[in-house]
A and B are shown apart, each in its own frame.
Chain A
């Protein structure tokens, strides 16, 4: 042990003990209260002087008093332990470092007061630097890591606990062997190295844990989605049944009324029969669309239908419930559908009553996609021309669409394209033969 005058040594110890509590107040701001500050100072004084007679209790007793700080604010136990370990670690590390600096700066004897002062000041500066940069790092990391997660806190706590135990072991060994200076040097180097390893290990572990959490969340979301889709389908089917019955009822009522010649009543019934508001109510529901398993294709259909709806195009969708699409074809089909939908929307949006119908038909041997839109009455479209590059019936439109579709279809030997223009309706049918 380096010889120091007892009083100066005790003062230094006291100031260092206060630092321990100061760090806690910084890490957990909720513990800052007048009573706690008094408690911290009293505890520090008491323990520094007890340390005079019982060596090393100065290290243990603040730990006991630490738990008295949480009378009003009660964080989780694991958080309390984490904070305790963190502040103890920082304290021990900065004390070693500042002590080393002070010893290297001044001689062993002679400049004792200067050495003590520089030791204390160095201790505070280093500790505060570490704690603030730590808080900053945690703040930055909290964008990626949830520090409220119990398991993550546990991981960090145990990592730091291992580090602390290593330090304590080192202290005890160095005290027994009486090699304080060497202890300080090795302490600093070792703890820095261990800290880096533990920091990286912890991050790695946390990354793995987070990935797992995300997977679990995704699964839950999928499950919820499926439930929601099922509910939508059920409600849609109920609606359908109701409408069927309701229309049949009205129709038979109108037949009965014909004999009575009650024109007012039959007019009302005819109006009700033609009432489209009941159709409108369920227009957003597309039966079968939810059962389409291929997410890419379902996605393009939904997004293009929404686009059509926003353009006030009347849409009708029919999707067979047992559609099965090969994974290999999925991307090509999605690209083709995207172009075909765009073309159809582009072609009919300026009509007075634009409509776009889509059907997905399934057969044991083939799958068919049909897109139909109306065109201007008596419009003339030359089917041969719309396939040649650059031609389009609309101005300001590239016209490359169908040529691209044809190229995509040509690459797939089991894809067949049919384009039809008849009765002011333009229809494209994509037939995909199933491979056996």
Chain B
């Protein structure tokens, strides 16, 4: 059961949103969902969050700015995110109010819906967001993916282990570089403890931990490892036989 909460200061728009959700429920009887709150008053939503009794996954539709209240949508969202890492949050906004990067970084919302795109486009976006939400819920229930955790500046981040190519310690600083398919990130950590935790990570060099599953080829002559996406890293001569054995398994 998915709980839907709506907070928007324009009462007419609330009714439009409610109608969209009701239509979605009618068209997708296989998905269980209900609207638990729909309000123009942010403190009402806050109260609901504080005192709710069930453990159902949440879907929030929030206006970013409320004319009559000091509380901004972003503050509510930050509060929600603090206690619920999996909650799906969708913002409804006019373009001007969008502090896109900040929100994306702090709240990691599922989507932004722009009011200036008109009711029809908003309807389509909401449908798409609900589809994605149920898809992810399904995924979450069917298989637990191995996740790699690290923290940076008091915040915790999770990375799907299958996207990691390798981890590397820098010689000049006490930082670990994480190389994934889409990003390179630095954080404080210790390679050895990471190696112990994940069986598919192999110490190919005293300062490099590689993901066996993403290796395309190993160049023994030049002592290089090539990954599926074309990136590469070094391997030490001493570690070469062990690495080949691991890959063969």
**Residue positions of A touching B, CB distance < 8 A:** 240, 243-245, 247-248, 251-252, 254-256, 258, 270, 273-274, 279, 282, 316, 318, 320, 357-359, 361, 363-366, 368, 370, 372, 382-385, 387, 409-411, 413, 416-422, 429, 431-434
Question: Could you mark each residue 29-67 of chain B with 1 if its beta carbon is under 8 Å from any beta carbon of chain A, else 0?
Answer: 000000000000000000000000000000000000101
Shortest 5 CB-CB distances between A and B: which pairs? A366-B153, A359-B101, A365-B154, A318-B99, A420-B183
Question: Cβ of A413 and Cβ of B174 under 8 Å apart?
Answer: yes
On chain B, the residues within 8 Å of A274 by CB distance are 116-117
Complex CA gap A413/B173 in Å reads 7
Partner of A422, one of B105, B155, B174, B182: B182
On chain A, the residues within 8 Å of B182 by CB distance are 383, 420-422
On chain A, the residues within 8 Å of B230 by CB distance are 382
Beyond known contacts A248-B10, A409-B186, A411-B173: 12 more, CB 8 A cutoff: A240-B97, A255-B12, A256-B12, A279-B95, A357-B100, A366-B152, A383-B179, A384-B179, A384-B232, A416-B152, A420-B183, A433-B152
Question: Cβ of A273 and Cβ of B115 under 8 Å apart?
Answer: yes
Chain B residue at smallest Cβ distance from A414: B153
Complex CA gap A252/B14 in Å reads 11
Chain B residue at smallest Cβ distance from A269: B118
Question: Cβ of A254 and Cβ of B119 under 8 Å apart?
Answer: yes
Query: Quick check: is B96 within 8 A (CB to CB) of the other chain?
Result: yes
Question: Cβ of A251 and Cβ of B184 under 8 Å apart?
Answer: no
Complex CA gap A66/B148 in Å reads 95
Complex CA gap A418/B184 in Å reads 6
Give 7 CB contacts A-B under 8 Å: A245-B67, A273-B116, A372-B101, A383-B182, A410-B173, A417-B185, A434-B153
Partner of A363, one of B67, B115, B154: B154
How would you classify the secondary structure of chain A's contact residues: helix, strand, loop or mixed?
A: mixed
Partner of B101, one of A251, A282, A358: A358
Complex CA gap A320/B101 in Å reads 11
Complex CA gap A273/B67 in Å reads 19
Query: Quick check: is B69 within 8 A (CB to CB) of the other chain?
Result: no
Question: Cβ of B184 and Cβ of A387 under 8 Å apart?
Answer: yes
Tell me whether A418 and B13 are in contact in the complex, defined as CB-CB below 8 angstroms, given that A244-B65, A247-B115, A279-B95 are known contacts. no
Query: Quick check: is B158 within 8 A (CB to CB) of the other chain?
Result: no
Query: Quick check: is B16 within 8 A (CB to CB) of the other chain?
Result: yes
Question: Cβ of A247 and Cβ of B94 under 8 Å apart?
Answer: yes
Question: Cβ of A383 and Cβ of B100 under 8 Å apart?
Answer: no
Query: Quick check: is B18 within 8 A (CB to CB) of the other chain?
Result: no
Complex CA gap A417/B99 in Å reads 22
Query: Quick check: is B199 within 8 A (CB to CB) of the other chain?
Result: no
On chain A, the residues within 8 Å of B106 by CB distance are 361
Complex CA gap A316/B97 in Å reads 11
Partner of B96, one of A243, A383, A418: A243
Question: Could you mark each residue 103-147 of chain B with 1 if its beta carbon is under 8 Å from any beta carbon of chain A, else 0?
Answer: 001100000000111110000000000000000000000000000
Write the nearest CB–CB distance from A272 to chain B, whole angstroms: 9
Question: Cβ of A359 and Cβ of B102 under 8 Å apart?
Answer: yes
Question: Cβ of B96 and Cβ of A318 under 8 Å apart?
Answer: no
Chain A residue at smallest Cβ distance from B122: A251
Question: Cβ of B152 and Cβ of A431 under 8 Å apart?
Answer: yes
Partner of B184, one of A361, A372, A419: A419
On chain A, the residues within 8 Å of B170 by CB distance are 410
On chain B, the residues within 8 Å of A410 by CB distance are 170, 172-173, 175
Write the nearest CB–CB distance from B10 to chain A, whole angstroms: 5
Write the nearest CB–CB distance from A182 to chain B, whole angstroms: 81
* A-contacting residues, B78-108, CB 8 Å: 94-102, 105-106
Complex CA gap A358/B67 in Å reads 26
Partner of B118, one of A243, A273, A368, A413: A273
Complex CA gap A4/B186 in Å reads 100
On chain A, the residues within 8 Å of B12 by CB distance are 252, 255-256
Query: Quick check: is B220 within 8 A (CB to CB) of the other chain?
Result: no
On chain A, the residues within 8 Å of B117 by CB distance are 273-274
Complex CA gap A282/B101 in Å reads 19
Question: Cβ of A368 and Cβ of B153 under 8 Å apart?
Answer: yes
Complex CA gap A155/B229 in Å reads 78
Question: Cβ of B101 and Cβ of A416 under 8 Å apart?
Answer: no
On chain B, the residues within 8 Å of A366 by CB distance are 152-155
On chain A, the residues within 8 Å of B198 by CB distance are none
On chain B, the residues within 8 Å of A359 by CB distance are 99-102, 105
Complex CA gap A411/B22 in Å reads 56
Question: Cβ of A244 and Cβ of B67 under 8 Å apart?
Answer: yes
Partner of B13, one of A243, A252, A320, A385: A252
Write the nearest CB–CB distance from B18 to chain A, whole angstroms: 13
Write the nearest CB–CB distance from A380 to chain B, whole angstroms: 8
On chain B, the residues within 8 Å of A358 by CB distance are 101
Complex CA gap A322/B205 in Å reads 43
Write the nearest CB–CB distance from B112 to chain A, whole angstroms: 13
Complex CA gap A416/B115 in Å reads 36
